[in-house]
Amino acid sequence: MTQNPLLQQWNTPFEIPPFDQIENTHFAPAFDEAFVRARAAIDVIAGNPAPATFENTIEAMEQAEELLERVAGVFFNLAGADTNDELEALQRDLSPKFAAFSAETLMNGSLYARVKALFDVKEDLGLTAEQKRVLELYHRMFVRAGAALAPDAGERLKEIMQRLATLGTAFSQNVLADEKSWEMTLEADDLAGLPDSLIAAAAQAAKERGKDGYVITLSRSLIVPFLQFSTRRDLREVAFKAWVARGENGGQSDNLEAVAETLKLRRERAALLGYDSFAAFKLENEMAKTPEAVRELLMAVWEPAKEAADRDAQKLTELLREDGVNDDLAPWDWRHYAAILQKAEHDLDEAELKPYLQLDNMIEASFDVAGKLFGLSFKELDAPLYHPDARAWEVLKEGRHVGVFIGDYFARTSKRSGAWCSSFRSQSKLGGDVRPVIVNVCNFAKAPEGEVALLTFDDARTLFHEFGHALHALMSDVTYNFISGTSVSRDFVELPSQLYEHWLSEPEVLSKHARHADTGEAMPQDLLERLLAAENFDQGFSTVEYTASALVDLDFHAGEAPVDPMVAQAETLERLGMPAAITMRHATPHFQHVFSGDGYSSGYYSYMWSEVMDADAFTAFKEAGDIFDPDTAAKLAEHIYTAGGSKDAAELYTAFRGSLPKVEALLKGRGLA
């Protein structure tokens, strides 16, 4: 045990996990020891004969799971970003164990009694505003976890939570299995229409899979440009159908039964806790508060978005006919003909744009913006990381260490799809100044060896988005880990990330960092103008595919659990009048936001809720006449990026902007007003 690096002090730069020493076999014994220590610490707190105080109860709980959080931080990041059969097996074993530990802690009657005793007299304890907020959140967490339930109901809730944890892990692993197993090999005559950058990426994907020639995988950075550029309609159809069938292919990786059981158990969980629906339970503590408020927002956007999409569909159908195709416009046609239409209307195509969007330059652009807004600087570190593609930087402010940022940008078979921000360690001050170690994980196409990695504009936007999350975690300045960084309501957490995207589209940023991969020349002014003019191109499509997913998620959880989720999905889409040539951004069998855990369940709408705010928030800089206005940036840092969950989300936003915005800001921003 003493040789296990996960259980030792980490004598590494800034206590980055010692990845070069950690082996798969270290995790199981480390978790065993961490669970023992955590349970012992919780037992001491619950059994303390002294009256409850904030220090001996809340602060003690903050520190009780320190080792468990450290080991879990390493393990679950690897399980998402660089997994293998051993880690996947351990993850399946750990999921119910974590659920059981959480349940036994949060349903510990003695522990809850201490928390409740403090909560009942919170006004008399002389707490700081932050301490009072933490106490209120702890009490709420215990109640919502079932601490106040009768014993029989509490035991049933424990069973439900363990089963949901198992189902969520299986769901995620099934999607990854389908993504890893599918590929489409292309011969030379299958490359028609593909730009050189995509051909090179397909060659690299083939090489990584031990094949010659060219391969298209289900990585978004390969499949989307293939659907845009390929003139082979038959191959586009094959690729698209494989992409949307993830989790719905029958056999061991099929997710349909898991989805049905998950929805049924969530409904039972909500009922045990006294709620009419899982959505009502889940949304109670979000900014939206109710399913009705969410539906009002989504429907306010749905109608103008659908009208725009229907208009665009007519234009795309005309282009389809010009190609001699007499079929109806299909989902595997939309991106292809939209790219042609964009070229016709804005004289813009990705092949012309992509050479100016080098990955390294876009990373530098995201750092540069953080420097101008918040005074941060980034110094690349030479430290062992968990994969050769990962890179690390020390983050500084006025020479002071702020934290460590890790970027892991390229797609691979050991990484789940999508893009996300996570932490190996969160910021806190209790017991010492703990600085964060934050990671961004993306799935960009890797360039062949010796060539620079190029991004699409959507890729670059994703990079800025995830870095906005990273800044939220890195800049956090609170005492308690419980409210650190991104520990905020789900429909507020996307505000710092989506707001940060705005700077990518600013001429001041692009003119400096968008430079041609071969010549080093800045993006020409006319190309920059065409890019910005086309920014809202095809917004009907993107808004419809997103909003449909959010409404299906809401319908799943706003009433009784559907017996057949796919039938329920179809009914929602039919009621909405979903355009035939557009599919949900995330169909149910691979809707990982909603079914790989319950983080975004009933909450996929939150990106749009946050977008209402981010559209309004960036306007503050425009009103100041400077996208880097120091006073506005200082308020943004104080009330949004450093504040964590120290106050209610609406209070934080109002402190920054003066009032909460209306949906019109979003419609205007998307060109749908």
Contact 445, 453 (CB under 8 A): yes
Catalytic residue among 65, 183, 286, 466: 466
Q: Closest Cα partner for 531 from 336, 340, 348?
A: 348
Quick: pLDDT tens for 506-519.
999 999 999 999 99
Q: What integer pLDDT is reported at residue 82 of this predicted model?
A: 97
Mean pLDDT within 107-115: 97
pLDDT exceeds cutoff 70 at 661: yes
pLDDT, mean over the chain: 96
Determine the Cα–Cα distance for residues 63 and 164; give it in Å rounded to an integer: 27
What are the CB-based long-range contacts (under 8 Å, 24+) for 144-150?
144/273, 144/281, 144/285, 145/102, 145/103, 145/106, 145/107, 146/103, 146/106, 146/107, 146/272, 146/273, 147/106, 147/107, 147/108, 147/109, 147/112, 148/112, 149/107, 149/272, 149/273
Residue 214 backbone phi and psi in degrees, to 5: -135, 140
| % of residues, the chain, pLDDT over 70 | 100
In this structure, what token pair is assigned to residue 495?
Answer: 């505000």
Kind of pairing between the strands at 400-410 and 420-425: unpaired
Cβ-based neighbours of 44, under 8 Å, separated by 6 or more = 60
Domain range summary for the chain, segments of one domain joined by +: 5-148, 182-245, 252-348+538-604, 355-533
pLDDT exceeds cutoff 90 at 21: yes
pTM above 0.85, yes or no: yes
Confirm whether 466 is a catalytic residue.
yes
Determine the Cα–Cα distance for residues 226 and 235; give it in Å rounded to an integer: 9
Count of C-beta atoms within a 10 Å radius of residue 309: 23
pLDDT exceeds cutoff 90 at 2: no
Is residue 405 very low, low, confident or very high in pLDDT (cuts 50, 70, 90)?
Answer: very high
Determine the Cα–Cα distance for residues 350 and 336; give it in Å rounded to an integer: 12
Letter for the amino acid at 313?
Answer: A
Letter for the amino acid at 183?
Answer: E
How deeply is 148 buried, as exposed, middle or buried, from its count of CB atoms within 10 A (0-12, 13-18, 19+)? middle
- Cα→Cα distances 171→186, 378, 597, Å: 30, 37, 9
Helix (H) or strand (E) holding 215: strand 214-216
In this structure, what token pair is assigned to residue 631?
Answer: 């006073």
Fold match flag (252-348+538-604 vs 355-533): yes
Q: What integer pLDDT is reported at residue 1 of this predicted model?
A: 57
Count of C-beta atoms within a 10 Å radius of residue 355: 20
Is residue 586 very low, low, confident or very high in pLDDT (cuts 50, 70, 90)?
Answer: very high
Residue 516 backbone phi and psi in degrees, to 5: -65, 135
pLDDT exceeds cutoff 90 at 504: yes
pLDDT exceeds cutoff 60 at 547: yes
How deeply is 137 buried, as exposed, middle or buried, from its count of CB atoms within 10 A (0-12, 13-18, 19+)? middle
Letter for the amino acid at 638?
Answer: E
Letter for the amino acid at 75?
Answer: F
What SS3 string covers 72-91? HHHHHHHHHHCCCHHHHHHH
Q: What is the gyration radius of the CA atoms in the chain, in angstroms? A: 25
Determine the Cα–Cα distance for residues 439 and 19; give it in Å rounded to an integer: 14
- Cα→Cα distances 125→62, 129, 141, 389, Å: 18, 11, 20, 50
Our separate counts of H helices and E strands in the chain read 28, 7
Count of C-beta atoms within a 10 Å radius of residue 602: 29
Please provide the CATH number assigned to the domain covering 5-148.
1.20.1050.40
Torsion angle (degrees, nearest 10) of CA 160, 165, 171, 174: -130
pLDDT exceeds cutoff 90 at 350: no
In terms of CATH, what superfamily is 252-348+538-604? Neurolysin, domain 3 (1.10.1370.10)
Residue 380 backbone phi and psi in degrees, to 5: -65, 140
Helix then strand then coil, % of the chain, to nearest 5: 60, 5, 30
Could you write out the DSSP letters of every residue in 218-231? S-HHHHHHHHHH--
Cβ-based neighbours of 13, under 8 Å, separated by 6 or more = 381, 383, 394, 404
Is residue 54 very low, low, confident or very high in pLDDT (cuts 50, 70, 90)?
Answer: very high
Quick: pLDDT tens for 118-163.
999 999 999 999 999 999 999 999 999 999 999 999 999 999 999 9
Q: What integer pLDDT is reported at residue 518 of this predicted model?
A: 93
Residue 358 backbone phi and psi in degrees, to 5: -70, 140
Record: fold of 355-533? Neurolysin; domain 3 (1.10.1370)
| % of residues, the chain, pLDDT over 90 | 96
Q: Closest Cα partner for 115 from 141, 91, 77, 82?
A: 141
Contact 80, 387 (CB under 8 A): no
Quick: pLDDT tens for 631-647.
999 999 999 999 999 99
Kind of pairing between the strands at 420-425 and 437-444: antiparallel
